[in-house]
């Protein structure tokens, strides 16, 4: 059976840099940080008191107030990004076969704020009137429900589920959407991820593992991938959505095409609950698998949007893996970690960074890795590699690879390239 080709026809984002794709992309190219003091809850007693929050998000632009009360924040962000992407794709939904349009949408955690609210409520009533829970508690909290909401809003009856692989979740969602379309199981799939974990249990939980930066005196410079003084990731939130479409279906309706998805790879470290393999073995394997799937050589890649979380172990192992897979060509690549600006969107990171890779391919410019200061060099990292420090760089980007690695040793990568019919 001949596999079908898959293209990207719609994009939408709500991020700490802005509530549209245009604002987010401009922020990235300008090296803007989305970090600041936490406002979602009182973090004054927490080790980390800052994050990359979405600012001025108005859910009523996307969902009426009554429906919004049935949703956790992560679902509202997901619906917002999905509506942007579907509008951007400009399909005639009246004439489309909705049995052939699916929704595969990820979250790494799901409705953690809802969970906190309901458990605190239970603690107050359990010894007096007994258990009291909101009937929407479970449907607000579960990690698949954003995919359900999006399909119900539009009546999309194709493949509909969520993928959960921690920080790799939305890259896995894209990989699944890509595979279902190229196998002929759908004409189009709305895919991506959302996360809203800047809540007391989210920040407190990651703090207890010493995973987050504690640079409370300078939030904007805390996420500094590949710098010696990095001290953990900065939590972000938001949503990113892509409309993937079978190429002939897109061409037949005269759709604008951003890029082609050509390969996806998956692997496991099988090593540790939360740490990446120190030699990057799973990262090596996932990039090789993506290249093989795309039928591309390492030399065909121009840009890698790295996982690059600004953690002491993870940054080193990813660099080692890139050098192992790409050899001498590693020195011709542009490499950047946009988490230096957006923070780590956890289950939404892969979708956002796939979109960044698509925009880099479309516009031939690579957004930077910000916050590196000259001399702040880690002896374990080879600075002859081009980490695109502090300033966006114009270059031809024919193909880009996006990496995501999640707690549990889950690794997922996707490759996008310029569309040529």
Active site residues: 167, 307, 344
Per-residue CA distances from 45 to 38, 41, 361 (Å): 12, 11, 43
Cα separation, 51 vs 198, in Å, equals 7
Cα separation, 163 vs 170, in Å, equals 7
Cα separation, 178 vs 4, in Å, equals 10
Contact call for residues 321 and 418 (beta carbons, < 8 A): no
Q: Choose among 41, 85, 40: nearest CA to 62.
A: 85
Extended beta strands in 150-215, E state:
160-161, 188-195
Query: Rounded to the nearest 5°, which phi and psi values hold at 366?
Result: -110, 120
Cα separation, 305 vs 290, in Å, equals 14
Burial 256-288 (b: 16+ CB within 10 A, else e): ebbbbbbbbbbbebeeeeeebbeebbbbbbbbb
Cα separation, 257 vs 382, in Å, equals 37
């Amino acid at each position: 059976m001949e596999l079908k080709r898959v293209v990207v026809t719609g994009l939408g984002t709500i991020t700490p840099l802005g509530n549209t794709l245009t604002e987010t992309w401009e922020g990235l190219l300008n090296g803007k940080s989305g970090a600041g003091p936490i406002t979602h809850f009182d973090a004054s007693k927490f080790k980390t008191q800052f994050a990359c929050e979405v600012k001025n998000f108005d859910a009523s632009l996307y969902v009426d107030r009554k429906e919004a009360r049935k949703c956790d924040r992560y679902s509202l962000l997901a619906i917002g990004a999905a509506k942007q992407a579907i509008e951007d794709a400009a399909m005639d939904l009246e004439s489309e076969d909705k049995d052939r349009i699916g929704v595969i949408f990820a979250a790494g955690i799901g409705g953690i704020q809802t969970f906190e609210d309901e458990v605190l409520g239970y603690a107050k009533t359990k010894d007096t009137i007994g258990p009291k829970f909101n009937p929407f508690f479970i449907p607000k909290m579960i990690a698949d429900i954003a995919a359900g909401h999006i399909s119900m809003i539009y009546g999309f009856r194709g493949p509909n589920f969520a993928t959960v692989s921690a920080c790799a979740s939305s890259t896995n969602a894209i990989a699944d959407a890509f595979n279902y379309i190229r196998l002929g199981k759908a004409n189009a799939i709305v895919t991506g991820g959302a996360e809203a974990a800047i809540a007391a249990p989210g920040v407190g939980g990651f703090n207890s593992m010493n995973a987050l930066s504690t640079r409370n005196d300078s939030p904007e410079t805390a996420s500094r991938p590949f710098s010696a003084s990095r001290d953990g990731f900065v939590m972000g939130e938001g949503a990113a959505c892509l409309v993937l479409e079978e190429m002939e279906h897109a061409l037949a309706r005269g759709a604008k095409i951003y890029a082609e998805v050509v390969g996806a790879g998956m692997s496991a470290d099988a090593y540790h609950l939360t740490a990446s393999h120190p030699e990057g073995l799973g990262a090596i394997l996932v990039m090789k698998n993506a290249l093989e799937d795309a039928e591309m050589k390492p030399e065909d890649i121009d840009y890698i949007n790295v996982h690059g979380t600004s953690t002491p172990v993870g940054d080193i192992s990813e660099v080692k893996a890139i050098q192992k897979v790409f050899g001498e060509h590693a020195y011709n690549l542009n490499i950047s970690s946009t988490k230096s600006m957006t923070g780590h969107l956890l289950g939404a990171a892969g979708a956002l960074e796939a979109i960044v890779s698509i925009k880099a391919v479309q516009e031939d410019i690579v957004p930077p890795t910000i916050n590196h200061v000259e001399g702040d060099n880690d002896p374990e990292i080879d600075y002859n590699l081009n980490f695109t420090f502090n300033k966006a760089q114009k270059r031809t980007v024919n193909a880009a690879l996006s990496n995501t690695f999640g707690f549990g040793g889950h690794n997922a990568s996707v490759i996008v390239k310029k569309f040529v019919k």
